[in-house]
Chain A
């Protein structure tokens, strides 16, 4: 394990505790995504790794070296900021060259490195411009080039795509993935966007209120969410969850029941992904009857918002949206292998 957070706690002077004893270890070459809602401590974790903040307790290790108290310049990491943080009084070329100038690299070598990096990020045409003459996407590319031009072993990105418009964000996302593959460096990427996390990461660390609640590859996080919070956070739309009770191998919720064999009696939370719910005929057994509320065509799929008394759910299906009318009955089956069960009080996943 090359990069290790060892019991790292960060409390700010105003009393907020941004991180509670974070333990996290990941390998060089990973694309690690720190994912969480605002206030989860993901940005703090990133800034602690950068050296822009000092932890209140705990250690941060990089390649067996304790970097906890090293200033940023001695950590060998590049960083991309959400607001780009370009030097407005320097040209694009000088912005990218700046880390090399600080390191007193020879002029010819600087020129070669800057142009190569600009080429890689497709900003070669803008080198003579000022940052104020760039669009958001171009400015973010310059920021990425500046962070990577001096070949740091690790590149930190704090919500780098949040200020870009939707289309550009998708494009930059793909670019970052390609960049990671070509440069073979460690990327640490902070985001609140689960889609960015799922598409970019080799592994995702999900944070909530300063604690790590799941650390796994995106596939596992999607298929085996560690608790109810992650289940309801990941996926678009997120997982349907129902509060209810198990009695004699059957889950009872408000408005429907569902077989749940092999579970002890008691309150639990049942979860199922919208795309795994099956729409069946009224005659089919083991189905629950819901009523269609709203139908949204998110081509090529259809989202059906349905309810039965207080229970609401979303179904994602590839059927024709015109087949569903508000108010009409909808018979649904929840396949046993698609069900997730969580503890009713703690929200933790039950095996």
Chain B
């Protein structure tokens, strides 16, 4: 009996902790959602308003009148392209690390990781000069290349574990069955690693979609994604909070949906390397 009541107390405590965590995490998002439906008066009232007459004007004001809708397309183009590039380049590299044995392998592997260790801002200026010299500044290509280069290390790091989990006899069986080494990778190993590749791709997509710094530095007008569009709503006449909230909601919606859809695989993918060591 005592056991059961202590057990119940613990459960209640756990629920309380979870509840606090959920409130802390969700309140800003809910507040932003409400803000996107508020008019200027409600937004700037000194007492936070939870009850108000909603307005739908913020969304068309920013996406149509200010022509922000192409920014959403830019966001999609940048994220999808860099994700595809990351997987196309990173997956074979990770496979190589998982299977081949060559001198300095672990050092090279660690080097890949170190490319993410410096603070992103530290290479912002060289990157800017680099893309200026290439004539790619203010195009989405620059952003795609930048995102690909810094997400690549993550892809290689994560996917190596997924490939290592597949016994090498599978590759060898495929080769004995008549595939070349490359054929074994594309037709047998890659389909087997599909859940891992998917989880990695989702993570790449999210990281690229949310990225602000490089996008902000590398594009000013044509190729802006949504994240870079938001500062443009800080005007000399004051910040248009309702429109900022509207853009932010549209910008976060795909990520929220995506995460709900694939949360199981994503957790598996992220904890994978940790478990494997």
Contacts and interface: CB of A to CB of B under 8 A. Distances in A.
Interface in A50-108: 50-52, 71-73, 77-79, 81-83, 85-89, 98-99, 102-103
A8 B180 CA distance: 24
Contact of A73 (B170, B180, B191): B180
Contacts of B188: 87
B170 A87 contact: yes
Contacts of B174: 87, 98
A147 B183 CA distance: 18
A200 to B, nearest CB: 21
Nearest to B191: A89
Contacts, number: 61
B167 A72 contact: no
Nearest to B173: A85
Nearest to A14: B101
B169 A83 contact: yes
Contacts of B170: 85, 87
A146 interface: yes
Contacts of B119: none
Interface string B67-111: 000000000000000000000000000000000010000000000
A86 B172 CA distance: 11
Nearest to A81: B169
Interface residues of A, number: 27
Contacts of B194: 89
A78 B176 contact: yes
A13 interface: yes
A163 to B, nearest CB: 12
Interface in A280-298: none
A77 B167 CA distance: 21
B62 interface: no
Contacts of A98: 174, 177
A83 B169 CA distance: 8
Q: Chain B contact residues: over half helix, strand or loop, or mixed?
A: helix
Contacts of A52: 172, 175-176
A72 B192 contact: no
A100 B175 CA distance: 13
Contacts of A78: 176
A13 B101 contact: yes
Contacts of A71: 175, 180-181
Contacts of B181: 71
Contacts of B179: 73, 102
Contacts of A50: 172, 176
B236 interface: no
Interface string B173-211: 111111111010000100110100000000000000000
A146 B167 CA distance: 18
Contacts of B101: 13
Contacts of B169: 81-83, 85
A148 to B, nearest CB: 11
Contacts of A51: 175
A102 B181 CA distance: 13
Interface centre among B101, B175, B188, B191, by most chain A C-beta atoms within 10 angstroms, is: B175
Interface string A136-154: 0000000100110010000
A81 B173 contact: yes
B5 to A, nearest CB: 43
B167 A85 contact: yes
21 contacts: A71-B175, A71-B180, A72-B172, A72-B176, A73-B175, A73-B177, A73-B178, A73-B179, A77-B176, A79-B173, A82-B169, A83-B167, A85-B169, A85-B172, A87-B188, A87-B192, A88-B192, A89-B192, A99-B177, A102-B179, A156-B176
Interface of A: 13, 50-52, 71-73, 77-79, 81-83, 85-89, 98-99, 102-103, 143, 146-147, 150, 156
